[in-house]
Amino acid sequence: MTLSSSSRPTNPRLALLVIAVVFAILNADITTVNVALVTLGKDLHADLADLQWGLNSYMLAFAALIVAAGRLADVFGRRRCLLAGAILFAVASLLCGIAPTLLVLVIGRVLQGAAGALMVPAGMAIVSNAYGAEERALALGTLVGVSGVAQSMGPLVGGFLTAEVSWRWVFFINLPLVAVIMIVAVRSIQESHAENASHRIDIVGVLTLAAALTSLLLGLDAAEGPDKDQMVAFDLIALSLVLLVIFIFVERHTDNAILDSKLIRLPAFLCSCVASFLLGFVFFLFLFITAVYLQERLDYNALTAGIALAPLSLVLAVSGVLSGRLTSRFPLRTLLIMSCISLALGLAILSFVPASYGYIGMVFPFLLVAAGVGPGFTLLNTAGLAAISAERSGQATGMIYMFRFAGGAIGVSAASALHSTLFHHQLVFRLSGTPLSFAQQKVLEQPGAAERIGQIDSGLVASQVEQVRQAFHESFAAAFTGTLRLNVILPIAIAILAMMLLEKNEGIKNTASRDVVG
């Protein structure tokens, strides 16, 4: 590492404060926006199926860029990339806040994801360089705690702002925080670079990966449409597979690839990445459809939904931190399998809880899901990084993040496709005897439909309006539970991967000292 001689030495405490605020913003940004989606969907006249883009566009950009962004930080300077990411994040947040249409919002979310990808690896490198070996673990552990608290507070903050002020302030609130980051960073962080860092950036790999993911998400989105869109969906998904093959080929023949072949060849690290992809898939799928279910089926407003999700986020954060400490007492393999069992049980139980039980019936399975996901992310990071040398940990962490958020983006899109398909078929079946036009049925598939059922002007008598209301609620509940049941198998797959990973890495349980931001 080299330092800029023209700048003052880095202040470790202020540097940690700056990066902690960065991690707080980026972790809260997913959960705050998640509870605001239904409300912003109403204002922007979006279908329920289109709400997914408020989340997966952010995760797609983050996943595609984070590894390359880490190399940019090493080459051009960590502080410089941190400040560039902060500026971009502020501009993107402003764009999201003033967005007149969903398309503009999605563009802003893509820019936010790109900004986050710039800031995360730069921030972790700054903290790692600011502290010695003994203090570094505590500093990175602090980032874990801050990230968890921010994630758990996100639903409350997002729900309050959406219900009491405006969903636009979910984005505007980032602006003063970014200003603090920039002011303190300029005064307290010294510029640094990685020694002998290659200036070659795998631009072809980044573009190919982004194109493959985008094509897949667009294909899943098109699959929710009418029959004429099914061929388009098939073509897009096929294109994504072709692009993925091209991406793999490019990565195998490119120096400084975003997917380092030396790391991918390590069975333990590869299994950790794949398991992180699956866990990101199932968790963000769950988070997305649960927030929509609370507001559409249980008629919660954004604030109430945020309060309902807060226990889940809090348990997720606390269990994630605690699991890292438990690795010194219990085998990592055992802890991972237990977390997978907890997640699978939570999803299964929740899928069989009658809608009439309301939120009370959802609390226990919520906690089981959180107790599975929180440790799962932390333990998979620890397991993967234990298989490599310490000097490769930065690049390896970026790759794990890439797999996690790629899985999350695809999971949200899959959740939207599955839920929309199941809901549509259930609704058509239950309304077969009701004289509703196609346009009126489409109204029931838009955000806030539950509030507009009584306003459908079709000459229905009161009993028929009640039949429509019942059909809507029953169809929504059936789609929610059906989507959950289809994904119970994923934690089982993660458990199998965990057993495969640890069978070849005896003694991995004693690596707890290598804290990784989860």
Confidence of residue 392 (pLDDT cuts 50, 70, 90): low
Q: Exposed, middle or buried, 485 (CB in 10 Å: 0-12/13-18/19+)?
A: middle
Pure H helices in 253-359: 261-264, 267-296, 302-326, 332-352
> Residue for token digits 């947040």?
93
Mean pLDDT of the residues in the chain: 82
Residues 78-137: tens digit of each pLDDT: 889 999 999 999 999 999 999 999 999 999 999 999 999 999 888 888 887 888 766 776
Q: What is the dihedral of CA 116, 215, 33, 165, to 10 degrees?
A: 110
- pLDDT number for residue 508: 45
Average pLDDT over residues 171-186: 92
- pLDDT number for residue 198: 61
Strand ranges in 59-155 using DSSP code E only, listed in sequence order: none
Contacts 24+ apart (CB under 8 A), 322-328: 322/375, 323/374, 323/375, 323/378, 323/379, 324/141, 324/144, 324/378, 324/379, 324/382, 324/512, 324/515, 324/518, 325/512, 327/379, 327/382, 327/509, 327/510, 327/511, 327/512, 328/509, 328/510, 328/512
Residues 412-434: tens digit of each pLDDT: 888 888 888 888 888 878 877 67
Q: Are 114 and 88 in contact (CB under 8 A)?
A: yes
- pLDDT number for residue 395: 74
Residues 434-483: tens digit of each pLDDT: 766 666 666 666 666 666 665 665 556 666 667 777 888 888 889 999 99
Confidence of residue 6 (pLDDT cuts 50, 70, 90): very low
Q: Inform me whether the pLDDT recorded for 252 exceeds 60.
A: yes
Cβ neighbours of 174 (radius 10 Å): 25
Cβ neighbours of 163 (radius 10 Å): 19
CA pair distance 450, 506, nearest whole angstrom: 54
Q: Inform me whether the pLDDT recorded for 512 exceeds 80.
A: no
Q: Are 414 and 286 in contact (CB under 8 A)?
A: no
